[in-house]
Amino acid sequence: LILCQIVVGVLGNFWLFYHFTSLCLRGYGAKSTGLILRHLTLANSLVILSRGIPETMAAFELKSFLNDFGCKVVFFVHRVARGVSIDSTCLLSIFQAITINPWNSRWAVLKGKAPEYIGPSNILCWILNIILNIMVPVCVTDKWNNKNASRTMDLGYCTSELHDKDTVLLYMIVISAHDVFCLGLITWASVFMVSILYRHRQQVQHIHRTQVSPASSPEIRATQSILFLVSTFVSFYTLSSIIHIYFSIVYKPSWWLMNTSALINSGFPTAYPLILLSHNHCVSRFFSVCMGRNTQFPCLIRE
């Protein structure tokens, strides 16, 4: 399952990266959105590879292939990439909410200024998560260097040492606060976009009655895509955060929970490009301009 997840996830994220880069080069996509998506696909790929490859090798009984330095790098990259994936998704949701906001609203001034902050915001996401996960290399070591088996958690191919409980608790509070804050912003931005799309559909409902069936209206399709994406995102990362907290409390988890954790951690990074390809009208066509370039509400992803 993990090996299939690696193949599907990496290929899906590579396709998404290539697709939106090509759209931007052809002038069909917003450069700001393309920049966020490039960071997001890179982070998603790192999440999948940094956890998937070691888990796959461990499944084939190759449990001593990583030395102390390798264990520290693999887990540090995984945690940083996971955080960047969450932050980039949050940034993308907020930017989309600002983009579809009407020009006559009180937030209209942000529509012109938002693209200027996309680059620095992406860099800040990486720096922030490097700082937040600076403890990971201290806690993780290879299986040959653990000196106190009662204070370590076996990760299959590496071990995690139990340090001072107060330090661990403080670290978990900080990480959990970061995840909850991002999940809250994503949910708020999604609800905000759905409300704008609903109001827009109400305004043009008489046109839809004569030309397009309500079920196939662009507002309905966009709303379904938004709700499906945010529900999938919140589900995967909520489960991932709960399991991570559980691991910090119970240092001897069962093997099946360890394997389930590996699948869940890479779940959304793997599913994200597939969801966009299957649920968004803009991405489902190869290098197409979604819903017309002169429509009032162009494609959320492209804009």
- Tell me the pLDDT tens digit for each residue of 28-64: 555 677 788 889 999 999 999 998 888 888 888 776 6
Element (H, E) at 140: strand 140-141
Q: How confident is the model at residue 284 (pLDDT cuts 50, 70, 90)?
A: very low
Of 285, 72, 265, the residue nearest 179 (C-alpha): 265
For residue 234, the model assigns a pLDDT of 86
Percentage of the chain modeled with pLDDT above 70: 74
How far apart, in whole angstroms, are the C-alpha atoms of residue 117 and residue 228?
Answer: 27
Asked whether the predicted pLDDT for residue 161 surpasses 60, the reply is yes
**Which is more confident, 252 or 128?**
128
Residues in the chain: 303
- Hey, which of 48-52, 100-104, 142-146, 159-163 has the most confident mean pLDDT? 48-52
Q: Domain spans of the chain?
A: 1-142+153-208+224-283
Asked whether the predicted pLDDT for residue 293 surpasses 80, the reply is no
Q: What is the CA radius of gyration of the chain?
A: 21
| φ and ψ of 160, to 5 deg | -120, 125
For residue 237, the model assigns a pLDDT of 86
Cα 273 to Cα 38, 269, 295: the distances in Å are: 12, 8, 25
Q: How confident is the model at residue 218 (pLDDT cuts 50, 70, 90)?
A: low
Neighbours of 115 (CB within 10 A): 16
For residue 258, the model assigns a pLDDT of 79
Asked whether the predicted pLDDT for residue 229 surpasses 90, the reply is no
Q: What is the mean pLDDT of residues 63-87?
A: 88
Cα pseudo-dihedral 237, 131, 190, 41, rounded to 10: -80
What CATH code is assigned to 1-142+153-208+224-283?
1.20.1070.10
Average pLDDT across the chain, whole number: 77
- What SS3 state is found at 296? coil
Read off the amino acid at residue 152.
T
Q: How confident is the model at residue 204 (pLDDT cuts 50, 70, 90)?
A: low
Quote the pTM value. Answer: 0.81
Q: Is the dihedral of CA 52, 55, 61, 64 positive or negative?
A: positive
Hey, what are 165's tokens?
């409980």
153 bridge partner residues: 160
For residue 16, the model assigns a pLDDT of 83
For residue 137, the model assigns a pLDDT of 87
Contact assessment for residue 268 and residue 232, using Cβ atoms and an 8 Å cutoff: yes
**Which is more confident, 204 or 35?**
35
Hey, what are 29's tokens?
């996509």
Min mean pLDDT across 41-45, 204-208, 247-251 is at 204-208
Q: How confident is the model at residue 217 (pLDDT cuts 50, 70, 90)?
A: low
What region, left, alpha or beta, does residue 240 occupy, with left being phi > 0 and alpha being psi -120 to 50 degrees?
Answer: alpha
